[in-house]
Amino acid sequence: MVAEKMTFVAPPDGSVAHGTFVVELTHFSGPLDLLLSLIRDEQIDIRDIPIARIAEQFLARISTLELDEAAEYLEMAARLLRIKAQMLLPRNENDEAWEDPRAELVRRLLEYQQMREIVDVLDIRAEARRNRFARAFLPEQPAPPAAPLALSLGELLNAVDRIIRAVRTPSMHDVIPRALDVDGAMNTVRGMMAAHANARWTDLLAPSSEPWEVLSLLLALLELARRGEIRLAQPRPFANVEIARDVAASEAA
């Protein structure tokens, strides 16, 4: 950011007090502000700017302001010089298609000027409010969140949806960021099956297991069942999964 390299100068009206909220670059809040101030000083019609003269003054001002590091001011200076050069190009007097090279700059200046009018309104408003105090003493808040949190799964999922749509390359698929350890889980199951003929899902999983452990175990069980080392049964949905040593397979092994 440019601002950090700049010399900090408070605006002349003293609007930046200590404990500064935003440090102003200079008296000017930007190249457009400087340009507008030059135009005002010279009492020039904004719609018919003598570009050569203004460009010269602009360059002079930014050198005295020691703004040589301010990319934004330099960019504007370059723009002014470019417009100046374009103005010098010979053109046919009757050329209806000729576009004033200053047009875009004029548009931006007018827009900026309008915004400054709003700033004046806001400034007056803010001053009016600053001169009034709200009650500063506030009774201690009623004991922390007494009201239950109003929060539904729908809201959470909508938030997920917003994020997915917001992130350019959605990568929400990796729900579990850790690599799964299926081999490790298979070893755990084999160990358990060596000692016991039967086991249950909950015997293999600590209550505090993390999602990657749950998934690893699930995949390990499915893999072992596929290889015929164990048999899996679940009497009803959500019931504990029962694991049994596959007798035929283990005897063959």
Partner 1 sequence: MTSPLAKLLEAALFASARPVTADELTALDDSATSDEVAAAITELREHYDGDGHGVELLEVAGGWQILTRPEYTEAIERAQLAARPHRLSAAALETLAIIAYRQPLGRAEIEEIRGVAVGGVLKSLHDRGLIEVTGRAEGLGRPLLYGTTALFLEQFALRHLEELPRADELAIALRTVAPAGSVT
Within 32-61, the residues that bind partner 1 by CB under 8 A are 32-33
Rounded to a whole number of angstroms, the minimum distance from the CB of residue 250 to partner 1 is 30
C-alpha torsion 148→149→152→155, nearest 10: 160
Rounded to a whole number of angstroms, the minimum distance from the CB of residue 241 to partner 1 is 14
Q: Please, what sign has the CA dihedral across residues 245, 247, 249, 252?
A: positive
Q: How far apart are CA 56 and CA 226, in angstroms?
A: 83
Q: How far apart are CA 50 and CA 54, in angstroms?
A: 6
The binder of partner 1 chosen from 60, 78, 85, 115 (CB under 8 A): 115
Residue pair 220/185 in contact by the 8 Å Cβ criterion? yes
Q: Please, what sign has the CA dihedral across residues 72, 53, 115, 132?
A: positive
Closest CB to partner 1 among residues 53, 125: 125
Rounded to a whole number of angstroms, the minimum distance from the CB of residue 86 to partner 1 is 20
Burial 131-162 (b: 16+ CB within 10 A, else e): eeeeeeeeeeeeeeeeeeeeeeeeeeeeeeee
Rounded to a whole number of angstroms, the minimum distance from the CB of residue 159 to partner 1 is 4
Count how many residues are written for the chain. 253
Q: Which residues within the stretch 94-113 sit at the binding site for partner 1 (CB under 8 A)?
A: 108, 110-113
Rounded to a whole number of angstroms, the minimum distance from the CB of residue 103 to partner 1 is 13
> Which two three-digit tokens encode residue 150?
């109003």
The binder of partner 1 chosen from 60, 88, 103, 156 (CB under 8 A): 156
Closest CB to partner 1 among residues 36, 243: 36
Q: Which residues within the stretch 215-244 sit at the binding site for partner 1 (CB under 8 A)?
A: 215
Number of residues that bind partner 1 (CB under 8 A): 85
Closest CB to partner 1 among residues 1, 252: 1
For position 147 contacting partner 1 by CB under 8 A, the verdict is yes
Q: Which residues within the stretch 117-136 sit at the binding site for partner 1 (CB under 8 A)?
A: 117-119, 121-123, 125-136
The contacts of residue 54 (CB under 8 Å, 6+ apart) are 35, 38, 39, 42, 44, 80
Q: Which residues within the stretch 6-25 sit at the binding site for partner 1 (CB under 8 A)?
A: 11, 15-17, 19-25
Rounded to a whole number of angstroms, the minimum distance from the CB of residue 40 to partner 1 is 14
